[in-house]
């Protein structure tokens, strides 16, 4: 299982609650009192708001577990209607409905024995997926059969490591990069021995993408080491390599820092920021302004996201804003709630004040995932954009993060990002206009691209150069 942690909805929501309520990320139509109990549509979260404190709970049919607490002072009490509360976080909008009281299941406290009960933890996990996972059919999962198969492996004497191994084995069948489960390291290490799992580190991806930009843009600029790299290949063709839709903030990193030192500086600044997500957007915007100035009125731009596993949707959309020529509907979005889906809402992408007039070529691969894919989805609406490489991974949904009674955390895909016409590219991935037959396996793709660099050159980049040379 491969999870993109930066697109964890729990993290996005809770960071926004902690830092952004007072900056109009919650909006409403009148001055109703927000104290009381609210349930978020499509996500299984309950908010209990008093005069002094906000308590957030994870709820299923069999559980209601405390998640986070925040002071009520961070909310402006003029930001709710009588019966609904609306959160606008990043590019997404969420609706909460007022409840008359906190559900009884949320009032009862669990005993230590209940928290450790392997059967109860299984039931909470299974019910959460049953209520919110959106792609059982697309991924060929018989979830009711899984209940019988894997619950029958549990006994009263099942150890933590054995339970984790059972959970891991069950969730591995999803083949979904946003489905994951984590426990303390010691438990996962013991479980790995039970599963006969060995660590298989990827090839040196950084070495590969460094070789590419050093070959084609020996004179280049970088931001935050190689998070973003750019330069002109020719007078007609500019090249931008974006290797993450996160860690784009300007937090004072320098090339003289070691990787360990830079990581510490960045994390310290991120954690102390009043709005770290906005810092990321401001960071990529500043970088794109630098690129726009450096490239001038260039005719063709390559945006290479073949090695980008995701990050923040807001970062990926900020990049695409520089290539939009007018406002357009980028996508529709909805979430699964038990047996139904929430009503969808649309997102309109607006161009920046100083957009490129160039033809855009996006290089993508199966490694292009998560927040990268929401940008690729929106790019389908732009006639002057061409996608080259292979279909992306197909994990557009945010990773909905939940907690088990024993404290372990897990994530799942509960959302659908749709084209304005309603087409869903989850699982299948965003298609390309020029298919280069890139393999899904990371080692095979690494080998293919490394060999291309030694012989014919990077086929994707060479294709653009040939197109640019046409009269």
DSSP states along 373-432: HHHHHHHTT-TTEEEEES------S-EEEEE-TTS-EEEEE-EEEE-TT--B-TTT----
DSSP class of 466: H
Residues 225-239 have a mean pLDDT of: 98
Which pLDDT band holds residue 86 (cuts at 50, 70, 90)?
A: confident
Residue 22 has pLDDT above 90, yes or no: no
Task: Give pLDDT, residue 92.
Answer: 82
pLDDT at 413: 98
The pLDDT confidence band at residue 33, using thresholds 50, 70 and 90, is: confident
Count how many Cα atoms sit within 13 Å of the Cα of residue 119 in the half-sphere of its side chain: 6
At 13 the three-state DSSP class reads: helix
- Indicate whether 20 pLDDT > 50: no
Write out pLDDT tens, residues 269-326.
999 998 899 999 999 999 999 999 999 999 999 999 999 999 999 999 999 999 999 9
- How confident is the model over 189-216, as a mean pLDDT? 86
Confidence category of residue 93, pLDDT binned at 50, 70, 90: confident
Higher per-residue confidence, 181 vs 345: 181
Q: Comparing 33-37, 262-266, 434-438, which segment has the lowest mean pLDDT?
A: 33-37
**5 pLDDT more than 60:** no
pTM, full prediction: 0.90
Look over the chain and give the mean of its residue pLDDT values, rounded to a whole number: 90
Structure token digits, residue 381:
């609406």
Q: What is the pLDDT of residue 34?
A: 82
Question: Tell me, what's the pLDDT at 75?
Answer: 55
Where are the alpha helices (H) located in 45-201, listed in sequence order?
A: 104-107, 112-116, 118-132, 143-151, 160-172, 185-195
Choose among 372, 305, 331, 318: nearest CA to 6. Answer: 372
- Condensed to tens digits (0 to 9), the pLDDT of residues 373-409 reads 999 999 999 999 999 999 999 999 999 999 999 999 9
Token digits of residue 300? 């063709």
pLDDT at position 340: 67
> What DSSP state is assigned to residue 109?
P
Task: Supply the angle between the helices 442-454 and 205-216 in degrees, to the nearest 10.
Answer: 30
pLDDT band of 23, cuts 50, 70, 90: very low
Rg of the chain (C-alpha set): 23
Would you place residue 330 in the very low, low, confident or very high pLDDT band (cuts 50, 70, 90)? very high
Could you tell me the two tokens for 450?
A: 């490394």
């Amino acid at each position: 299982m491969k999870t993109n942690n930066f697109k964890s909805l729990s993290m996005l929501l809770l960071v926004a609650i902690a830092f952004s309520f007072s900056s109009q990320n919650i909006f409403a139509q009148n001055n109703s009192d927000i104290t009381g109990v609210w349930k978020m549509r499509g996500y299984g979260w309950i908010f209990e708001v008093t005069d002094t404190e906000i308590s957030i709970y994870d709820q299923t049919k069999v559980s209601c577990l405390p998640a986070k607490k925040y002071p009520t002072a961070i909310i402006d009490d003029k930001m709710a209607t009588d019966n609904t509360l609306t959160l606008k976080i990043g590019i997404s909008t969420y609706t909460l409905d007022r409840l008359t009281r906190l559900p009884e299941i949320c009032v009862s406290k669990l005993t230590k024995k209940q928290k450790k009960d392997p059967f109860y933890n299984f039931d909470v996990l299974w019910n959460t997926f049953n209520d919110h996972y959106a792609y059982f059919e697309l991924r060929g999962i018989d979830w009711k059969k899984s209940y019988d198969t894997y619950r029958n492996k549990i006994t009263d004497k099942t150890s933590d490591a054995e339970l984790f191994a059972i959970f891991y084995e069950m969730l591995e069948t999803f083949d979904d990069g946003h489905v994951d489960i984590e426990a303390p390291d010691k438990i996962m290490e013991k479980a790995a021995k039970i599963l006969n799992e060995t660590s298989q580190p990827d090839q040196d991806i950084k070495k590969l993408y460094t070789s590419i930009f050093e070959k084609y843009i020996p004179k280049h600029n970088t931001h935050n080491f190689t998070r973003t790299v750019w330069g002109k290949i020719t007078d007609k063709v500019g090249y931008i390599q974006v290797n993450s839709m996160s860690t784009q903030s300007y937090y004072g990193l320098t090339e003289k820092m070691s990787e360990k030192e830079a990581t510490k500086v960045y994390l310290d600044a991120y954690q102390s920021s009043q709005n770290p997500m906005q810092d990321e957007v401001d960071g990529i915007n500043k970088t794109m302004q630098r690129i726009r100035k450096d490239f001038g009125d260039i005719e063709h731009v390559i945006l290479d996201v073949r090695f980008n596993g995701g990050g923040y949707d807001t970062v990926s959309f900020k990049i695409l804003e520089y290539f939009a020529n007018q406002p357009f509907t980028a996508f529709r979005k909805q979430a699964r709630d038990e047996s139904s889906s929430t009503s969808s809402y649309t997102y309109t992408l607006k161009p920046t004040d100083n957009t490129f007039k160039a033809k855009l070529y996006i290089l993508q691969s199966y490694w292009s995932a998560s927040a990268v894919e929401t940008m690729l989805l929106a790019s389908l609406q732009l006639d002057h954009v061409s996608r080259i490489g292979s279909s992306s991974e197909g994990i557009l949904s945010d990773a909905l993060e939940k907690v088990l009674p024993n404290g372990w955390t897990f994530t799942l895909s509960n959302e659908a990002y749709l084209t304005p016409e309603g087409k869903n590219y989850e699982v299948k991935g965003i298609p390309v206009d020029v298919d280069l037959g890139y393999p899904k396996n990371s080692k095979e793709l690494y080998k293919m691209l490394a060999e291309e660099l030694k012989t014919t050159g990077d086929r994707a980049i060479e294709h653009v150069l040939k197109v640019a040379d046409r009269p």
